[in-house]
Chain A
Amino acid sequence: MQKTYYDPADLKKFSKISDWNEELGEKFFDYYGKVFEAGALTEREKSLIALAVSHTVQCPYCIDAYTGDALQRGITKEEMMEALHVSAAIRGGASLVHGVQMMNKVNKLEM
């Protein structure tokens, strides 16, 4: 039995997802490819967003892929780390902002 849930070599097999459902698989990869094309945002900006989100969803495949992608685009580690702090701030903020709910509840229940 495989000893770990994640294998870096699996990233290369991503496109095989289409083998078991060609129609939906192809639709997904077409969409994916289109999303990352330059539009109102540059490819570089999209790469940084992808890197930050990869950490939010804690996807090792995505972190592997978009760290490499960022380096290829000449994105600096300072830019990469700042992008990550944006995702960390939102993630932390998302927990903390619920504190208002907690405070509301306490204020309602306490005499």
Chain B
Amino acid sequence: MKLWNIFKVTITLSFTRTHMTQQSLHKRNNKLAQSQQQLDYLSNGIFKNGELPTFKTKLSETGIAPLTANTLEILQINVGYMCNQVCEHCHVDAGPDRKEIMTRETMQQCLEVIKTTKAHTLDLTGGAPEMNPNFRWFVEEASKAGIKDFIVRSNLTIIRANKKHHDLPEFFKKHNIHVVSSMPHWTQGKTDKQRGKGVFSQSIQALKDLNAVGYGMPGSHLKLDLVYNPSGAFLPGNQVAMEKDFKHALLDDFGIQFHQLFAITNLPVSRFLDYLIASENYEDYMYALVDAYNPQAAASVMCINTLSISWDGFLYDCDFNQMLELPVNSNVKHISEYNEDLLNGRAIVTSQHCYGCTAGAGSSCQGSVA
């Protein structure tokens, strides 16, 4: 065989990794669907043999006191893990096959808290929050509480997925919802690879629909922000530079406008952890996170002003801890026994996944922190 033919065979073999996620880890009975398995993985290997310092050690080495919760500012509610997409990097392991959906009773309990909380931001997430059958009722009720910033994390494609969701932009507008949507890249190739075939064109149409009712337009009070997270085992670039590139490309190519871009680091949890291990990127990725550790970012991580509520009403320091089933370190564990004063000052529960929030410019559900 000629040298070039050997090359061709090799190239074809190594470049045909076209695996596309169709089902959640739970549905596939993957062992990483068990949170304890993930926690074990994150504590063993390079962190157990001392090659890399554990997150706790790193904090103390850099003079950061063990993290404790300050006054609550952001109440984040996960209304269910069901989603119309099965993104490869999803830390929720969300998908159409997930049946964990917040009930109206739990929503009722959340509403009691929303009415009395001193938090200025209410943040609904999922899954696709819109797939919860009581989503619209919940938004209508919650918006009556007059919280300053009411966020819904919408994956965009849900707006186009079914006729009954086509009027979501109008619905969001009516309740002055702040829409935050995922958009991993301004090109089809990178977007569809991470989020599934056809996601890009549907997302573009959904963004046009949102723009059409006033979302994301310059000077508009209807806030439309995008979330960028890397489509692979690398860290996000500078948020300001990425925002400039996104704005330029989306406006030039599609006439789309939006307000801010949040650059979010992928945390080694659930499907992203599974991807890191399967692609043999886990150790390099953890090295990259630890190398990029920034004490300034560590001092302003989101868990110190955020509380995450799961579909079944339990309380966590963040959505990642929720997926790892690490409950808050407090006597108050459930929304039914909610007491803000008791929760403030609690010690934050950490593991090695926390390095994802302290790398580089830091990462939170609101983007960079440092």
B245 in contact with A74 (CB, 8 Å): yes
Which residues of chain A are near B187, meaning CB under 8 Å? 76
Contact (Cβ within 8 A) B189 A72: no
What are the interface flags for A31-69 relative to B under an 8 Å C-beta threshold, 1 for contact and 0 otherwise? Answer: 000000000000110000000000000000000000010
Interface residues in B, total, Cβ within 8 A:
18
A73 near B230: Cβ-Cβ < 8 Å: no
Q: Mark A71-84, 1 if CB is under 8 A from B, else 0.
A: 11110111000000
**Using Cβ atoms and an 8 Å threshold, which residues of chain B touch A74?**
185-186, 228, 237, 242, 245-246
Write out, one digit per residue, whether chain B residues 24-39 have a CB within 8 A of any chain A CB (1) or not (0): 0000000000000000
Verify A76–B189 contact, CB threshold 8 A: yes
Which residues in window 69-108 of A have CB below 8 A to B? 71-74, 76-78
B190 at the interface (CB under 8 A from A): yes
Q: Total A-B residue pairs with C-beta atoms closer than 8 Å?
A: 32
B189: which A residues are within 8 A, CB to CB? 76-78
CB A41 to nearest CB in B, in angstroms, measures: 13
Q: A6 → chain B, closest Cβ, in Å?
A: 16
Most chain B CB atoms below 10 A, which of A12, A43, A73: A73
At the interface, yes or no: B95 with Cβ under 8 Å from chain A? Answer: no
List chain B residues, Cβ under 8 A from A78: 189
A71 and B241 contact, Cβ closer than 8 Å, known pairs A76-B187, A76-B189, A76-B190: no
A residues in contact with B237, CB < 8 Å: 72-74
29 contacts between A and B (CB under 8 A): A12-B291, A43-B241, A44-B241, A44-B245, A68-B234, A71-B230, A71-B232, A71-B234, A72-B230, A72-B234, A72-B235, A72-B237, A73-B237, A73-B238, A73-B241, A73-B242, A73-B245, A74-B185, A74-B186, A74-B228, A74-B237, A74-B242, A74-B245, A74-B246, A76-B187, A76-B189, A76-B190, A77-B189, A78-B189
Point out residues on A near B: beta carbons under 8 Å: 12, 43-44, 68, 71-74, 76-78
